[in-house]
Amino acid sequence: MTEVRRLHLLLDRHTALAVVSGFSQRCARPGTQANRHDLALLTEELLSNLVRHVFPFHPQAKARCRVQIRANGTARVFLRADGPPFNPMVDGTPGYGIALVRSMVSSYSWRYRGGTNRLLVGVQV
Amino acid sequence: MPVGFSVVPKDVRGRMEHNLLVDRRADGTTLLLLSGRLDADTAPQVETWVDQVLAKRPWRVVLDLARLDYISSAGVRILLKCRKQQQERGAQCLLLHPQPSVRRVLELLQLLNAEMFDSEADLDAYLDSVQRDPPPATED
């Protein structure tokens, strides 16, 4: 069975961070396995990175996040965000957040089309 | 007898599901008990509280993570900032009771180090091996 979590962001920065925090917590449920912790952490880092780098310049930008947890022990995080081209895996300021993402992600793809960034990352859970 | 007090206003405790208790002990140790989540949402406020504690120039800060359920990079930055500021003025910053989730994050960032202790007994043993008491005040 595939679990899906969805999030739509169109908020000011402070509220967005609170929503990201709540969404990240939901990704960790149910269960208390460490791998769910990693999924919550990965989601928070990707989304908070987006809030920091894109929303200040494009406060009306929309972002959507979808998390799929598969029965085969993998999960996929889809992130779509309006705004200028921004690949969180290579752009932005290097820091602990992106270092955590890189350490957890098993695969990723990014493309920019029609003014929208589309990021897909895979992770073992 | 240590005197404990909270620097977190009561009206935000429930909303943020986060708490920081400060306990100052007779041996000069300032114990900070972090609880809940230390993430991108809560980190700015917690950083303000930690800054208030560090402004008093404590000789030794122990960050007790026993009740810290979750930490992300935003929280890690606070821990490292605390350690850096303490080291720059010759003071100590030690981590106590890191939970598996916190240890996991520090491990991913390759930040596990010797100044992290699973129990108070381990911490005491370490302090016995180094300078336990603050250096005597020097006269100008």
Percent of chain B with pLDDT over 70: 79
Which residue of chain B has the CA closest to A21?
B41
Q: Which residue has the higher pLDDT, B39 or A6?
A: B39
> Is ipTM beyond 0.85?
no
Q: B100-108 and A34-53 are packed helices; what angle lies between their axes, rounded to 10 degrees?
A: 60
pLDDT at B84: 95
Question: How far is it, in rounded angstroms, from Cα A117 to Cα A99?
Answer: 20
pLDDT bucket at B114, cuts 50 / 70 / 90: confident
B:81-140 residues touching chain A, CB 8 A cutoff: 100-101, 104-105, 108-109
Q: Chain A residues with CB inside 8 Å of B18's CB?
A: none
Is B21 near chain A, with CB under 8 Å? Answer: no
Q: What is the secondary structure of B4-48 as a DSSP string?
A: EEE-S-HHHHHHHTEEEEEEE-TTSEEEEEEEEEESTTTHHHHHH
pLDDT value at B17 more than 50: no
Q: Given a cut of 50, is residue B35 above it in pLDDT? A: yes
Size of the A and B interface in Cβ pairs below 8 Å: 54
pLDDT of residue B19: 67
Which of A75-89, A103-117, B10-24 has the least mean pLDDT?
Answer: B10-24
pLDDT band at residue B137 using 50, 70 and 90 as cut-offs: low
* A88 in contact with chain B, both atoms CB, cutoff 8 A: no
- How far CA B20 is from CA of A15, A22, A25, B47, in Å, comes to 22, 20, 20, 10
User: Chain A within 8 Å of B40 (Cβ-Cβ)?
Assistant: yes
Q: What is the pLDDT of residues B59-105, one digit of tens each?
A: 999 999 999 988 999 999 999 999 999 999 999 999 999 999 999 99
Residues of chain B contacting A51 with CB distance shorter than 8 Å: 40
**Nearest CA to CA, how far is B37 from chain A (Å)?**
9
**CB proximity A45 to B under 8 Å:** yes
Looking at chain A, the whole-number percentage of residues with pLDDT higher than 90 is 18
Residue B13 has pLDDT above 50, yes or no: no
Is residue A73 pLDDT above 60, yes or no? yes
Q: Which of A2-16, A54-68, A87-101, B19-33 has the lowest mean pLDDT?
A: A2-16
Indicate the pTM of the whole model: 0.81
- Rounded mean pLDDT of chain B? 81
C-alpha atoms less than 13 angstroms from C-alpha of A60 in its C-beta half-sphere: 0
Beta strand residue intervals within B27-129, DSSP E: 29-38, 60-71, 92-96, 116-117
Q: Where are the beta strands (DSSP E) in chain A?
A: 3-9, 63-69, 74-82, 107-113, 116-124
Q: How confident is the model at residue A32 (pLDDT cuts 50, 70, 90)?
A: very low
With bands split at pLDDT 50, 70 and 90, how would you rate the model's confidence at B2? Answer: very low
CA distance A1 to A34: 20
What residues in A contact B76, CB-CB < 8 Å? 96
pLDDT at res. A15: 58
Residue in chain A lying closest to B105 (CA): A100
